[in-house]
Structure 1
């Protein structure tokens, strides 16, 4: 990628997708999850799911398959 330029999907890999979910009116999230390409260190307070390929990461991160977190 190029510094200061938004990533281009044709040349820049997706390496992480993170999500935080709150119930309406709640102050604290009930879900914190990070999907990563290849393993990473644990993240306090979050569930980390690692994948071997960008395809797997995107399929799970965007609900394509395996919806269990």
Structure 2
């Protein structure tokens, strides 16, 4: 009984190794991003840039207030 389980385990390992070898030998397939994903990424980039500009302006405003207080 124990030998059967060991043999089955070895067969599963060998099958897994064969799948790994096939995957390693297969040419990589490049997948183009889905158009919706690209649009989402572009929207996020635009929102990020807008947020960066808003934060930069807020920091400049704070710097001006601090400069007035220091005088």
TM above 0.5, yes or no, is no
TM-score (norm 2): 0.19
Q: Normalization by structure 1: what TM-score?
A: 0.19
Which structure shows the bigger proportion of residues in helix conformation?
2
Task: Flag the structure with larger Rg.
Answer: 2
